[in-house]
């Protein structure tokens, strides 16, 4: 930084022809400006300026050095302006990591609209259900369903979701509509597999307790998108977060059953960012976009 400061003083002195004028431009004393250039000359072992009572003039070495030094300062200013522009408007590459279900069902269909709004952005998206280190993996935004499990992150809630049991009209017409959790024993219940186990379905009981049902069917899978598609094809009932089946419920392609009998509290969906990294314009634009679009899906 000392060398850069001396370089700046030298270039300003050469352009103005005066230590006094350079000092005024840089907010320092003329003697400090002169000492800075003298130190630079000693480091280079070359005289850069002819000094006289009335003005400064570049030596042959000083002329050569000035051309390169002035270019260095211009490049530094251009780099600073480009970084400032990057921070003030969304541009560059946005690296996002999302859970598999959210990424496939919710985020994927929204990305074309986001990219259409921000022509200077490109998105690199990875889908994983495991915990990651966003700093080590250079992620701008990490999206996870449920309470934040990452350390050293800031979290912004994008939305909340509740579990809903639903099935295709063709399935309900063929097998009937369950009226209570006990009725599920007579139905194909498509199971979601997490860490090798089928997740139980929990409901409120008559005595305000919890009734737990282990879904049984010929199909269980660890991907929510596949289970949704199987339910759409009439293979059975599925229990997924409502944001995963919002469009299908709105269109009538899937119909909710046992509505209001769930015992699970709403599940938050968060956008996570490293706590020590200042939020960039591209990350802010992406998170704001998701908040707006997810709110629209609910209305």
Question: Average pLDDT in the 213-226 region?
Answer: 91
Residue with structure tokens 């199909």? 219
* Residue 262 belongs to a domain: no
Are 133 and 172 found together in one domain? no
**Which of 41, 72, 88 is the endpoint of a domain?**
88
**Which of 49, 71, 88 is the endpoint of a domain?**
88
Are 218 and 250 found together in one domain? yes
Q: What distance in Å separates the CA atoms of residue 97 and residue 111, rounded to the nearest whole number?
A: 13
Are 106 and 77 found together in one domain? no
DSSP for the chain?
-HHHHHHHHHHHHHHHT-HHHHHHHHTS-HHHHHHHHHHHHHHHTS--EEE-SS-EEE-HHHHHHHHHHHHHHHHHHHHHHHHHHHHHS--EEEEEEE-HHIIIIIIHHHHHHHHHH-TTEEEEEEE-SS---TTTTT-SEEEEESS---SSEEEEEEEEE-EEEEE-HHHHHHH----SGGGGGGS-EEEEEETTEEPPEEEE-TTS-EEEE---SS-EES-HHHHHHHHHTTS-EEEEEGGGSHHHHHHTSSEEESTT-B-SPPEEEEEEEETTSPPPHHHHHHHHHHHHHHHHHH-
* Residue 106 belongs to a domain: yes
Q: Is the pLDDT of residue 132 over 90?
A: no
* Residue 31 belongs to a domain: yes
Are 138 and 72 found together in one domain? no
Question: Average pLDDT in the 273-284 region?
Answer: 80
Query: Of how many residues is the chain composed?
Result: 299
- Mean pLDDT estimate for the chain: 89
Domain range for 125: 92-155+269-294
* Residue 47 belongs to a domain: yes
17 DSSP β-pair partners: none
Q: What distance in Å separates the CA atoms of residue 2 and residue 14, rounded to the nearest whole number?
A: 18
Are 66 and 27 found together in one domain? yes
* Residue 263 belongs to a domain: no
Amino acid 261: pLDDT = 82
Are 98 and 79 found together in one domain? no
Are 175 and 234 found together in one domain? yes
Are 6 and 84 found together in one domain? yes
Q: How many domains does the chain have?
A: 3
Question: Average pLDDT in the 117-144 region?
Answer: 90
Amino acid 108: pLDDT = 94
pTM over 0.75: no
Q: At 76, which CATH number?
A: 1.10.10.10
Please count the other Cβ atoms lying within 10 Å of the Cβ belonging to residue 31: 11
Strands 163-167 and 237-241: antiparallel
pLDDT in tens, 57-102: 999 999 999 999 999 988 887 787 667 655 677 888 999 999 999 9
* Residue 264 belongs to a domain: no
Are 147 and 284 found together in one domain? yes
Are 43 and 111 found together in one domain? no
Are 184 and 253 found together in one domain? yes
Q: At 110, which CATH number?
A: 3.40.190.10
Are 24 and 68 found together in one domain? yes
**Which of 69, 88, 107 is the endpoint of a domain?**
88
* Residue 186 belongs to a domain: yes
* Residue 135 belongs to a domain: yes
Q: What distance in Å separates the CA atoms of residue 77 and residue 92, rounded to the nearest whole number?
A: 19
């Amino acid at each position: 930084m000392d060398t850069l400061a001396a370089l700046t003083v030298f270039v300003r002195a050469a352009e103005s022809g005066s230590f006094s004028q350079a000092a005024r431009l840089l907010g320092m004393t003329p003697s400090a400006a002169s000492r800075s250039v003298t130190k630079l000359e000693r480091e280079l072992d070359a005289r850069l300026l002819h000094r006289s009572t009335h003005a400064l003039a570049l030596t042959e070495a000083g002329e050569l050095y000035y051309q390169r030094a002035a270019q260095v300062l211009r490049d530094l200013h251009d780099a600073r302006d480009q970084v400032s522009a990057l921070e003030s408007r969304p541009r560059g590459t946005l690296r996002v990591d999302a859970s598999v279900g959210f990424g496939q069902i919710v985020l994927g269909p929204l990305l074309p609209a986001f990219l259409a709004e921000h022509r200077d952005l490109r998105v690199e998206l990875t889908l994983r259900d495991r915990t990651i280190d966003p700093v080590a993996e250079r992620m701008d935004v990490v999206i996870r369903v449920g309470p934040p499990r990452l350390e050293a992150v800031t979290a912004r809630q994008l939305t909340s979701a509740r579990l809903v049991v639903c099935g295709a009209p063709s399935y309900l017409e063929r097998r009937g509509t369950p009226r209570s959790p006990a009725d599920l024993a007579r139905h194909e219940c498509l199971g979601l597999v997490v860490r090798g186990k089928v997740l139980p379905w929990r409901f409120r009981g008559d005595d305000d307790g919890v009734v737990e049902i282990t879904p049984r069917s010929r199909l269980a899978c660890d991907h929510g998108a596949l289970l949704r598609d199987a339910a759409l094809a009439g293979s059975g009932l599925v229990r997924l977060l409502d944001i995963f089946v919002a469009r299908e419920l709105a269109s009538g392609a899937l119909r909710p059953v046992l509505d209001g009998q769930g015992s699970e509290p709403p599940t938050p969906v968060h956008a996570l960012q490293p706590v020590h990294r200042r939020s960039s314009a591209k990350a802010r634009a992406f998170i704001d976009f998701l908040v707006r679009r997810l709110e629209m899906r609910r209305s």
